[in-house]
Structure 1
Amino acid sequence: MNLDWSVSELTLREPFRISRSVMTARTAVEVILTHNGIEGRGEVVTSVYYGLNEEKVVAQLADLRPTLPETPEALLAALPATSLAPGVRAAVDAAAHDLIARHRGVPVHTLLGRPEWTDVPTAYTIGITTPEQATHTAATLVAQGFTVLKVKAGTEDPADDVLRLKAVRAAAPDARILLDPNGAWTPEQAVRLLDTLADLALDAVEQPILPGTPDRLAWVTERSPIPVIADEDAATLTDVRNLAGAVHGINIKLAKCGGIQAAKEIIEAATTANLDIMLGCLVASSLGIAPAVHLTGHARWVDLDGHLLLAHDPWTGIDGKDGVLRLTETPGLGVTRP
C-alpha cells in the first residue's frame, strides 16, 4: 500500500468571523492511499486552534509512510496507537475507509452498517456580523431552502449577540436556530444571556463557556432554558463519558476526535449516556466533509457546511447548496472532482 499527498489552498467566499478569529482561507492536504490499483482519499485542513499547520501535517504523513501496513484494514487497526494529530489521523482514516469501500463496491455508510441513507438538512453558519447583514444572509438562506441556521456569537458587547440572534429569528421565523459563542462567555454571562434569548426558541447552544471546566458547564446546563451542547469539552471518548448528565448533547468533529473509527466509539458512548449527537466540521472541501456525512444517521443536529463557505469547492458529491446534504451512492466517500 502506498501513501501520497498534495497541498492546495481553500479560499472562503467571504471573511468568516467567530469569537476568537477571522478566517479568509486555509490550507488543505489531500491524503491518497493506493492499494491494488485503487485509490482512497481523505483531507486534513490547517487549524490554528488545533495546532495544525502545513509543515506539521506533511511531516507526520512522511513519518507514517515507511511504516504503512500492507492493507487498509490493517492500517485502520493500527491508527489508534499512532502519535498522529487527530486531524491527520482523521484524514488517513477517511482515505482508508474510502479505499476499503471502493474495493468492496459500496458507499462508506454501508461499510459502517447503515445500508440505507436518507438526505439530511444541514445548518449553515452565519458568522459574527451586523444585525442588518445577518438579516440579509438569513433571508437569502431561507429562500435557498435552508431550514437550519447556526449563528456565531461572542462579541465584546453581548448585546450585539442578542441583536444578531433576534434579527436572524425575525428573518427566519420557522428555521431551527443553533447558537455558538465558541466559549466566549463566563458562566454567569451565559446563564443571563440564554435566559434573555429563551423566547427565540433556539434549538441549542454550543459550548457557551471556555472549555476545561466541565463542572461549570454543567452548572450552566442546569440553569439554561436552551439545550447545551459540549464542543471543545467533548474531544475524546473519556471526555464524553465524563459529560454524562452534564450537558444535553455533544458535537463530534472528525478532525477533533481522529476520524470515523473514533467517532463511532464516541457515538456509542454518547448513546449509552443519553447524550444527543451533533456532527460538526471545520471549513473544508467536500472531500473533507464527506466522511461525517456518512455518519449523519446518528445525529440530532447536522452542521456540515464547511464546503458551502468556500469560494470554490474542488470536489463535488455531497450537495448542500439548498440546505440538504445528498450522497451519490457511488462506492467510497462518493465525492469526485467536477
Structure 2
Amino acid sequence: MKLILHEYDLKLKHRFSIAHDSRDIQKSLILELRDGQFSGFGEATASKYYGYSIEEMRAILEVNREQIESYQYQSPEEFWVDMSTEMSVNSFAQSALDVAVNDLYAKSKGVSLSKLWGEESSHNLVSNYTIGIDTIEKMAQKLEEFPWPSYKIKLGTKEDIAIIKELRKLTDAKFRVDANCGWGVEETLINAREMIGLGVEFIEQPLVADDWLGMKTLYEKSPLPIIADESIVGEGDIERCYGFFHGVNIKLMKCGGLTPARRMISKAKSYGMKVMVGCMTESSVGISAIAQLLPLLDYVDMDGFLLLESEIADGVRLANNTIVVPDSAGIGVSSLIS
C-alpha cells in the first residue's frame, strides 16, 4: 500500500465569513492510498479554530508512513484502532487516513461504502447551502444567485434578526441558523423567539463551547432546538452534550473519521438526540465521504464543494439543482482532477 499526499488551495466563490473566521482560500490535503489497481481517497482541510495546519498533518503522516504502507489490515475498523495511538494527536490527519482506508476497502469489494455497511438509501436527505456573514445586501445576493430548498445562515452580528427578516422576503426555503459561538444566553432566547416565526428550523452552537451552564438554560427554555457543533469534538462528547443540546453536528475531521463518526451517530440516537453531519468546506472528496452516512442522519450539511470556484475530483456533483451521490464503489471518487 502506497501513501500519496496531494495539497490544494481551494478557491472559494465568495469570501467565507463566520463569527470567528474569514477566508478566501481553503487549504486542503488529499490523502491517497494506492494498492494495486485501487486508490482510496480521504481529505482534511486546514482549520485555524482547531489549530491544524496542512504542514502539521503532512508531518504526522510522514512520521507514520512506514507503518501505514506496510500495515496488513483486515478491516478499516481494525486499522483505526491499531493506528489510533499514533494518529489521535491530529484528528484531521487521522480522519483523512480513515476515510481513505474505508474507501479503498469498499472499492476492493466492488460496492459503495454505504452498501458495504448494509445501509440502503435513496440519498434524498437535502443538504443546506451556507450563506456566510456579510452585509445584508450581499447575503441576499448570495441567496438569490443560488436557489435552494434549505439554507444555513451564518450569524453573530448586531443585525442578525434584520438579516433573517430580509432573507425571508426572498424565499420560502427552510432556514437553519449558525451563530458559531457568537451569542449570549439572553440574546439567544430573544433571537429564538423572533426566529421561530420566521421559518428557522434550529439554532446551531449559539454560545461558546464551554458554557455548559448557559447551554442548560437554552436546552430548557429555547423555543427552537439547539444543535451542538463547537461543543462536540470526539466520541466522549456525545454523553456530555446529552441534556444540554437537542442534537449534535458531528464532523469527520474533528472526531477522527468515518469509523468513530458511525459510533457517535449510534450513541447519539440511543440518547434520542437529533444527528447531523457537517462539513468544513471540503472538496467533493470529503463531501462524498459524508454522503455515505446519509441513511443514518436527520440533517446534513454537505455543501462544501458547492462553495468552491472549481472542483478537484469527481464524486458527488450538482445536477438539476440537486446534489447527486454516485452509486459507484467506495465513496464514489475515482480520480483527482489535475
The answer, yes or no, to whether TM exceeds 0.5 is yes
Paired letter, 2:156: G
CA distance in 2, matches of 1:7, 1:228: 36
Picking from 328, 331, 336, the partner of 1:330 is 328
Give the aligned partner of residue 6 of structure 1: 6
CA distance in 1, matches of 2:323, 2:124: 6
Give the aligned partner of residue 139 of structure 2: 134
Whether the 8 Å contact between 1:119 and 1:326 is mirrored in structure 2 is no
Q: How far is 1:79 from its partner?
A: 3.3
Of stretches 237-246 and 253-262 in structure 1, the one that deviates more from structure 2 is 237-246
| Aligned-CA RMSD value | 1.7
Give the aligned partner of residue 179 of structure 2: 181
Q: How far is 1:132 from its partner?
A: 2.2
Give the aligned partner of residue 18 of structure 2: 18
Q: How far is 1:317 from its partner?
A: 2.0
Taking structure 1 as the reference length, the TM-score comes to 0.93
Whether 1:76 aligns to 2:80 is yes
Q: How far is 1:90 from its partner?
A: 0.8
CA distance in 2, matches of 1:258, 1:168: 36
Whether the 8 Å contact between 1:41 and 1:94 is mirrored in structure 2 is yes
Paired letter, 1:149: Y
Whether the 8 Å contact between 2:125 and 2:299 is mirrored in structure 1 is no
Segments of structure 1 that go 5 or more residues without pairing to the other structure are: none
Paired letter, 1:318: V
Give the aligned partner of residue 167 of structure 1: 166
Q: How far is 1:325 from its partner?
A: 2.5
Count of aligned pairs: 331
Whether the 8 Å contact between 2:144 and 2:170 is mirrored in structure 1 is yes
Hey, which bits of structure 1, 4+ residues long, moved more than 4 A? none
Identity of aligned residues (%): 28
* TM alignment of 1:74-153, pairs within 5 A: 74-82=78-86, 83-142=88-147, 146-153=148-155
* TM alignment of 1:132-281, pairs within 5 A: 132-142=137-147, 146-155=148-157, 157=158, 160-173=159-172, 175-281=173-279
Whether the 8 Å contact between 1:121 and 1:323 is mirrored in structure 2 is no
Whether the 8 Å contact between 1:102 and 1:332 is mirrored in structure 2 is yes
Q: Deviations over 1:17-42 (max 9, x none)?
A: 11111110021111111224421111
Q: Deviations over 1:142-201 (max 9, x none)?
A: 2xxx2110100012x2xx11111111211112x111000100111122112222222112
CA distance in 2, matches of 1:102, 1:119: 23
Per the alignment, do residues 254 and 323 of structure 1 end up closer, same or farther by CA in structure 2, a change over 3 Å counting? Answer: farther
CA distance in 2, matches of 1:118, 1:124: 16
Q: How far is 1:237 from its partner?
A: 1.7
Q: How far is 1:138 from its partner?
A: 2.2
CA distance in 2, matches of 1:91, 1:278: 20
Per the alignment, do residues 228 and 64 of structure 1 end up closer, same or farther by CA in structure 2, a change over 3 Å counting? Answer: same
CA distance in 1, matches of 2:232, 2:206: 13
Q: Deviations over 1:182-232 (max 9, x none)?
A: 001111221122222221121110000000122321211222111110111
Give the aligned partner of residue 61 of structure 1: 61
Segments of structure 2 that go 5 or more residues without pairing to the other structure are: none
Q: Deviations over 1:96-146 (max 9, x none)?
A: 01100110000011122214442331110001122222223223322xxx2
Q: How far is 1:313 from its partner?
A: 1.1
Q: How far is 1:75 from its partner?
A: 2.2
Q: How far is 1:322 from its partner?
A: 5.1
Whether the 8 Å contact between 1:214 and 1:233 is mirrored in structure 2 is no
Paired letter, 1:80: S
Of stretches 95-104 and 26-35 in structure 1, the one that deviates more from structure 2 is 26-35
Paired letter, 2:237: D
CA distance in 2, matches of 1:79, 1:187: 41
Q: How far is 1:321 from its partner?
A: 5.8
CA distance in 2, matches of 1:298, 1:93: 19
Q: Deviations over 1:51-108 (max 9, x none)?
A: 1112101101101212221236242342333334111111001100110011000001
For the residue of structure 2 that corresponds to 1:48, the secondary structure is coil
CA distance in 1, matches of 2:241, 2:192: 20
CA distance in 1, matches of 2:330, 2:286: 13
For the residue of structure 1 that corresponds to 2:317, the secondary structure is coil
Per the alignment, do residues 251 and 284 of structure 1 end up closer, same or farther by CA in structure 2, a change over 3 Å counting? Answer: same
